Chain A
Amino acid sequence: SQTIHQWPATLVQPVGSPLSLECTVEGTSNPNLYWYRQAAGRGLQLLFYSVGIGQISSEVPQNLSASRPQDRQFILSSKKLLLSDSGFYLCACSRQYNEQFFGPGTRLTVL
């Protein structure tokens, strides 16, 4: 079964600083990959999804970007963080219409 790794687990960054969150997947090939953000007490907001290497679709216009340099690697980035970027960032993977598997998440606090 697949395993999703995310790092770092927690991160505190000042406003205006860059961001790079990494997600890697084991135990599956050619997965669909997703980045979600969850603000405190809120539901999950889909940020980006990818169906293959170099293929990224954005769901919400914002100052974040995503890249998929390898089949099982998904990176979330920002050049300049905003206070509103604080939240719990989750990476997920799935195969076709099957269930999604989520990583442990990264808790980002922007000060």
Chain B
Amino acid sequence: GENVEQHPSTLSVQEGDSAVIKCTYSDSASNYFPWYKQELGKGPQLIIDIRSNVGEKKDQRIAVTLNKTAKHFSLHITETQPEDSAVYFCAARLYSSASKIIFGSGTRLSIRP
């Protein structure tokens, strides 16, 4: 089955700097890659996603890139702000009727003031 690896597990950046989180996946049939932000005491919330027919997608300060050949995808947050502090999960989903999500292990991002 699909396996998603995520690095780093913790990341601390200065406010205003950029943060990058990287993931790899194992199943080449996966075709949808969402990123979730989880704040303390809350469920995962989708912040951006990318489909396998797209190499890059941007939404304001957040961008995702996908390299299908290498099975790598990354999250880039620019001009980080204190409210960006949270746990971020990458995930992969195989197109199917069930469409279960396979999560990475998470990255705890801390923004230093």
Q: Do A and B bind each other?
A: no
Residue positions of A touching B, CB distance < 8 A: none
Residue positions of B touching A, CB distance < 8 A: none
